[in-house]
Each structure stands twice: as structure tokens, then as C-alpha cells.
Structure 1
Amino acid sequence: MVSGTAGRAPEPALAPPTREAVIDRLMPGYPPPRHWRRVPSTGQHYLDLGSGDPVLFLHGNPSWSYAWRKLVGRLSPHARCVVPDLPGFGMSRHLRPPAGCPDPYQAQLDHLDTLHRHLAQDRELPERGWTLVLHDWGGPLGIAWALRHPGVVTRLVVCNTVAFPWPAGFQLPFYLRWIRDHALVSGFVHLTNAFARTAVHAGVHHRLPAAERRAFLRPYARSGERRAVVDAIRAIPRDSTDPAWQLLEPPNPDAGLGAVPMLIGWGMRDPVFTPLVLEEWARRYPHAAIQRFPDAGHFVMEDAAGELGDHIRDFLRGTP
């Protein structure tokens, strides 16, 4: 008698999942590896997808290029989207300032210079005619970089950030002051990843799916990968004695930017960049088009991705 399985053809082995399938499971919505690039001289990671006028997205802390995935998905059919991980964040290795450069944010500007040269020389992007999309720490960095290179940036999109001295009456939330000013607190935050874990909840008004929260936190899973997160909080400038203050009050403020077309997309439920900061943007740049999103938090690109993406698309189409 033959067993019931005798003579039956063996079942085919399951094919291993593709790299893109694994990435989509670990980082849902993030562009696949064929869009990943690195700057040869620094190893800085960035996304490059779409075609058209170049648009450079600069994230803040504790986020990384993953925060822009929804906007990039909407805008890449209309523009060349370049989305770097700032050194020390995401998939870019930690930035170590060169000798004689104690301020890490001047070194960040130098890395933006290197990225821009690489894109112009190796990726054949134009040297001028760039749009910057800025959020959180990306705001002061992007504005300072634009001032460093007059004429390169021809449009600005501003999302919940600051690029000028804090307006009268503004105060940082107490938890940021504690992390910035107390070594024991910052050490605890570094050990537990508490700031990033809190940000993925408190930074949005509409709860993120668990898989997306895990993707936000993935680059900071090990304590050795969190140094830039805490360093960025401790570098928040209070006054002119702090090195990063020059990002908020550069020697040539508004030089060449006063007439640059500007779109401001603001999450009105942001506990850090409150409506008081938005009012200062409006006062300093009265020509800016402002879109307020009453049900969006700090990560306005998460809470209002559809509306914000449409406004940015129309802004790109409607400005030379």
C-alpha cells in the first residue's frame, strides 16, 4: 500500500520576500531602495525621485526623511524631490564637526553645501532655482543656507519652524528646557529614547498607525544612534551666547529672501511652535501665503498631508 503522499510532487519553496517588500513592511510608505542615494564624500543618505524643478526637504528633530514620505508621494509627479537625512539622523551617520569648527550647526551647513555640489555635479540638477521645504530644525538651517548662497533658493515652503529670534512672550515647553539645561535629564532621555517616543504621539493630532510609529523610531533603536537627537535639544538657542543663535539672527538677515515667494503651512495644535511664532512669520514676511490647519499638530505633514501637498503643488505651479 502506498502512503497518501507517495508520488505527490513536492510543494514549491516560498520565494524569499524582496528587499522592497521588507522595506515596505518595516517602513510603510517610504520610497523603495531604488530611490536611495548617498553623497560619496560624506555618506549622507538622501532620497531622489521625481522630475522637474528641484525641491529640497529639510526635516527636524527627532524625525528624519521618513516624515516627508506622504508629501513626496504627492509631489514627485510634479517636481524633483530631494530628501536628505541630516547627519546623525535617519540613515546618515553621525556628524562629527571638523577640527576648529565647534558649532555642529555650521558643520551641518557645510554638509548641505557638499550635498548641493554633489547634486549639481553628479546628479545633473541645476545649481539655482531650488525650492526649500522646511520643518523644525530644518527651518533655521535652510534659511541660513539660503542666505549663504544668494540666488540659489527661489521659493520657500515653511512648516512649523522658526528662523528668527523668538518672539516676545514665547517660552519653550518645560520638558525641552529640562532636557536642554540638565545633564541628568538629557542622560535619561538618551538612555530611554523618551523624546522620540513622545514625539510620535504628541507631535500629531491624528494618531499614527503603530507600524508608522515604529518606522519613525527605527533609526534610534540603539543608544549609540540617538546622540544627535539629544544634541539638537541641547543646542536650542536661548540668546546670543549660544552658538546656534547665529542661525536665528544671521549677520545678513533677509538678504535676498524678502521677495522670495513663500508658502507657510502651519499645524495650529503644535505645542512648541505655537500660533505666536506663526504671527511673527506673517509680520516679517507679509507677502507669504499662509495656510492654517486647525486639526494638525507639530508634524503638519502627517496630519494634513493631502491638503498641504495640494497647496505646495499649486504653489510650485503658480510661482516662476
Structure 2
Amino acid sequence: MSSTSPTWPDYSFASHFAEIGGHRLHYLDEGRGAPVVMVHGNPNWTYYWRNLIPALSDHYRCLALDHIGCGLSDKPSDRDYEYTLARRVADFDAWIAGLNLTEPINLVVHDWGGMIGCAWAVQHPERIARLVVLNTGAFPLPKTKPVPWQLQLARTPLLGALLVRGLSAFSLGAVRSCVTRAPMPQDVGRAYCAPYDSWAHRIAVHRFVQDIPLEPGDRSMPVVAETAAGLHKLDHHPMLIGWGEKDFVFDDHFLQEWLVRFPRAELHRFPDCGHYVLEDAGPQLIPRIRQFLDTTPAGRRES
């Protein structure tokens, strides 16, 4: 099922929908060729990939989903949907299965997309061709990394709900603080926030923050621990890391964890760029991603 998306800057893609667990999941499907699957984070949606997709779609089939509760997907209440990491991974698995892909996947992940995508990838390493990692994690919070005060505030009972769902502080804060080279254009910032225009529509933004696993007893920690323990299954797959070094959450503590686990990864650092590294460094990073996909042999490399 497809339809025309609403108009936002540089987002002129046809919308597609899949039914996942009784909810409509929105996704983009552009181009033909080997699949490139893009997985966004929070507070974000497929708009994040709007410049990468046209740079690849002449040679690749670009697929990008909006997680349930995000972007143009359905935004169910807690009664109708379990906003947990395990459910996100199950949704991703169901969506991939419905696409009937026959070739290995080039997986591109950012923010929560790293945890969701890599949780799936370690379960299906034979289905991965290459990985592109952009300011994300797929393992517990590094021991040396303090929890940023912004996340602590958003997780505070009652106050967090007021800020995140009532005042849209998390979404509005992201468009201001997640780019560092230059302020985000106002129309682009409005597009990022457009799907999250009410208390009800900001439920996933808040639930993602609440679901960040920080302690051993947190409900999503088992998935994170299992994924971290299984990342070695991907260590011979080609990987490109694009990293904005001014990210206040996914900072050098996370980058070093990736490099310890994947010392052969192709690394591109951007010292003046923030969490939304594709916004800040797109003109430099996107051609490097294209070159990586075009020239790096897919699949498992020999030691």
C-alpha cells in the first residue's frame, strides 16, 4: 500500500504502509538494487534519511521505516502497544520478513536504530552485507559515561511527562542541540517535529526515553546485554562509522566502545558535528557512505 506523503523540505517520497501487530507502520521504498535498510532513533523519523536516500537510490533499494509511534506510523496508546525494545525488534523483524528480500542487507543505523537494528542483526548475521553506524550504541551505557542531565530530566516521573509530552521539550531541544555546525533551518526543524504535534502523538518520544536501560533490572537490559554479547557475530562484516564528536549522549565513550569491538571499521570523525551527523556533515559523509557501499566487498571478510 502506498500514497503520497505530506510536503516537507526535501521529503518528496511515496509513502508505503505495512500492518504490523494490528498497527500501520509507515516506510519508504525508493530505488532498485541491493537493499539499504535505514533505522532511525528518537525523537526522529524517516525524515532523517531524506538526503541519503536520493544519493543511493539510483543503484540501491533504499528502505526506511518509521517505528510505531513515530513519524507517519500509527501512534497507539499504552493499552494497545508495548513500547519496549523487545517489541521494536519484533516489529523490525516482521517488517523485514514482509519485504521478502532475497539479497543481504546493508544496514544503516542511528541513535535507537543502532540498538534495534543490531539486535536483529546479531540474530541474523548471515543476512547482513555491510553496516553503517552513525552516533549510536548497541551495548550498555559505557561505565565511564555519565547519564546526561537532559535524559535524567526527561525520565523524571511526572516532570518528564510534562516536559516531553506536554511541552515537546525533547523534540524541540533536539532540533536546537543536535546540530552544531550551524542552526537547523526553521522549516527543517518544523518537519522534524511535525509528527509529534500533541500529547498523544508524543507518546513514543517519551517511552523511548523511559526505556533506556541503565540498571541491570531495567526491562530492556536483557535485550541490550544479549545484543552486546552477540556483536562478535558481525566483527568480520564491513563497517563504516560516521561520528559527530559534539554529540552530548553518543560521545567518545560510545565511539571507543565501537572501535574496541570493530577495530577494522572505516572511521570518519567530524569534530565540529553533533548527534544529527547527517544534518551537520551530510555533504562530506554521504559521498563516503556511497563509496563504502559501492567499493567494499559485501558479507563476511576473512580474518
Tell me the distance in 2 between the aligned counterparts of 1:287 and 1:97. Answer: 42
Matching of residue 315 in structure 1 with residue 296 in structure 2: no
Which residue is equivalent to 2:50? 69
Tell me the distance in 1 between the aligned counterparts of 2:92 and 2:77. Answer: 14
Tell me the distance in 1 between the aligned counterparts of 2:40 and 2:168. Answer: 18
The size of the alignment, in residue pairs, is: 291
The C-alpha deviation readout for 1:118-167, integer Å capped at 9, x for no partner, is 111xxxx32x4101100000001110011122311121100000111222
* Cα drift, residue 58 of structure 1: 0.5
Matching of residue 53 in structure 1 with residue 34 in structure 2: yes
Which structure 2 residues correspond to residues 281-296 of structure 1 after superposition, within 5 A? 281-296=258-273
Tell me the distance in 2 between the aligned counterparts of 1:72 and 1:184. Answer: 38
* Cα drift, residue 75 of structure 1: 1.6
Alignment equivalent of 1:182, drawn from 157, 178, 194 = 157
Tell me the distance in 1 between the aligned counterparts of 2:267 and 2:223. Answer: 23
Tell me the distance in 2 between the aligned counterparts of 1:192 and 1:280. Answer: 34
Tell me the distance in 2 between the aligned counterparts of 1:223 and 1:265. Answer: 33
Tell me the distance in 2 between the aligned counterparts of 1:185 and 1:222. Answer: 15
Matching of residue 209 in structure 1 with residue 190 in structure 2: no
Tell me the distance in 1 between the aligned counterparts of 2:294 and 2:161. Answer: 44
Which residue is equivalent to 1:88? 69
The C-alpha deviation readout for 1:14-73, integer Å capped at 9, x for no partner, is xxxxx97x944xx110133xx210014541000010111101100000010001101112
Residue 94 of structure 1 aligns to a residue whose secondary structure is: coil
Unaligned runs of 5+ in 1: 1-18
Tell me the distance in 2 between the aligned counterparts of 1:227 and 1:96. Answer: 8
Aligned residues of 2:135 and 2:242 also touching (Cα < 8 A): yes
Aligned residues of 2:75 and 2:200 also touching (Cα < 8 A): no
Could you say which structure has the higher strand fraction?
A: 2
Instruction: Return the letter of the residue paired with 2:194.
Output: R
Which residue is equivalent to 1:10? none
Tell me the distance in 1 between the aligned counterparts of 2:6 and 2:17. Answer: 17
Instruction: Return the letter of the residue paired with 1:259.
Output: H
* Cα drift, residue 187 of structure 1: 2.8
Aligned residues of 1:97 and 1:104 also touching (Cα < 8 A): no
Tell me the distance in 2 between the aligned counterparts of 1:98 and 1:116. Answer: 25
Instruction: Point out the more displaced range, 222-231 or 87-96.
Output: 87-96
Tell me the distance in 2 between the aligned counterparts of 1:235 and 1:95. Answer: 17
Alignment equivalent of 1:43, drawn from 17, 21, 24 = 24
* Cα drift, residue 270 of structure 1: 0.7
Cα RMSD of the aligned pairs, angstroms, is 2.1
Matching of residue 170 in structure 1 with residue 139 in structure 2: no
Residue 226 of structure 2 aligns to a residue whose secondary structure is: coil
Q: Please, what TM-score do these two structures have when normalized by structure 2?
A: 0.90
Tell me the distance in 2 between the aligned counterparts of 1:161 and 1:293. Answer: 15
Matching of residue 144 in structure 1 with residue 125 in structure 2: no
Aligned residues of 1:147 and 1:254 also touching (Cα < 8 A): yes
Aligned residues of 2:131 and 2:239 also touching (Cα < 8 A): yes
Aligned residues of 2:83 and 2:208 also touching (Cα < 8 A): no
Query: Cα 1:98–1:224, aligned 2, differ >3 Å: closer, same or farther?
Result: closer
Query: Cα 1:283–1:212, aligned 2, differ >3 Å: closer, same or farther?
Result: same
Tell me the distance in 2 between the aligned counterparts of 1:224 and 1:168. Answer: 35
Which residue is equivalent to 1:130? 105
Tell me the distance in 2 between the aligned counterparts of 1:246 and 1:84. Answer: 24
Residue 270 of structure 1 aligns to a residue whose secondary structure is: coil
Residue 55 of structure 1 aligns to a residue whose secondary structure is: strand
Aligned residues of 1:98 and 1:107 also touching (Cα < 8 A): no
Which structure 2 residues correspond to residues 143-292 of structure 1 after superposition, within 5 A? 143-205=118-180, 206-250=182-226, 252-292=229-269
The C-alpha deviation readout for 1:204-244, integer Å capped at 9, x for no partner, is 01211111111111101121100000011111111221112
Residue 113 of structure 1 aligns to a residue whose secondary structure is: helix
Which residue is equivalent to 2:300? none
Q: Please, what TM-score do these two structures have when normalized by structure 1?
A: 0.85
Tell me the distance in 2 between the aligned counterparts of 1:228 and 1:297. Answer: 23
Instruction: Return the letter of the residue paired with 2:199.
Output: S
Instruction: Return the letter of the residue paired with 1:237.
Output: P
Aligned residues of 1:258 and 1:285 also touching (Cα < 8 A): yes
